[in-house]
Amino acid sequence: MTWRMPAETAPQDRVWMAFPAGGYTLGDTAAEADEARRTWAAVAHAIVDFEPVTMVVDPSAQADATRYLSAAIEILEAPLNDSWMRDIGPSFVHDADGRLGAVDWTFNGWGDQEWASWDLDASIGRFVAEAAGAAVVGSSLVNEGGGIHVDGEGTVLATTSVQLDPARNPGATHASVEAELRRTIGAEHVVWLPRGLTRDHTRFGTRGHIDMVAALPSPGTILLHAQNDPAHPDYPLTRELRALLADAHDAAGRSFTIIDLPAPAVVRDDEGFVDYNYVNHLVVNGGVIACGFGEDRADAQARDVLAATYPGRRVVSVEARPLFTRGGGIHCITQQQPSQRA
């Protein structure tokens, strides 16, 4: 069986999410819990203006979910530890006949993080796949959806710091990971970046997810996070990554057109240097759901760049600072289900 992961711009049947039910995401206070629930709900309500949303809800959170979510959001019940659907859910693929499959990656709490629990989340990939009516494609590779980005034509972006993380895949090599990505998502050429953003390598980070720094909006094109403040440690990093990508090529042998997506102006919060970025966006049918950071000028500039990058799609910003405080962005809490090809 040959599988290929379609581009995120491909037609979609729905977007999957998981409602906050506990752990670091929900926080330690009623105010933090309310903030998390409101933020996840705001993203869901922005998406449902474009296409259906299915929210997986832990049995303990049913009452909260119905209080925060409109009737337009479909609710499915399943036990959850956390709510980062991009990472705990499957990656949807097509076979040669266009039928839907779903790669059920092995999940171990972003590399056995001491603060993470995943006994329940490890089963969500299969749960979502079966609920979607997709053929389950099992994989022993410890991977999360935020660890890969594809163009739908065989090109994959990934980071060495995630895929070769000894707490994820001990003994793995670039070649062994590439072979498994070829089998599961149809990778023909993997573009390797060494690591992700600085904040993503701290305690509550993922150790370098690609979806926080670069995306493939179309074949031959890369959207790249640009940190333009020399005081930020991502300033030299993003320039290093840009130089690497300028020398790279895609599965068809094309050099990349690189589109810079500048960071917002703020560089620090109470925990240190932030990883606020606009690369972590979600493409939906007819639209783009972008992260907003309360900076009118920067948020508008990002919408303009995304609108030009995805012509014909309406770009909507959703306040994302509560997501980034918890370790991710809009792309991290969502997982698109592509339509079955005729």
Q: What are phi and psi of 291, to 5 degrees?
A: -75, 140
d(CA 290, CA 15): 15
Residue 76, number of CB atoms within 10 A of its CB? 13
Q: Which amino acid is residue 43, in one-letter code?
A: V
Distance of CA 181 to the CA centre of its chain: 17
Helices (H), the chain: 23-26, 30-47, 62-68, 85-88, 109-112, 124-131, 160-163, 174-185, 234-246, 296-309, 321-325
- Among candidate residues 18, 46, 73, 332, the one labeled active-site is 332
For 334, the token pair is: 């969502």
Closest CA to 157 of 277, 250, 84, 235: 250
Angle subtended at Cα 200 by Cα 305 and Cα 121, rounded to the nearest 5 degrees:
105
Is 291 one of the catalytic residues?
no
d(CA 91, CA 114): 25
Residues annotated as catalytic are 332
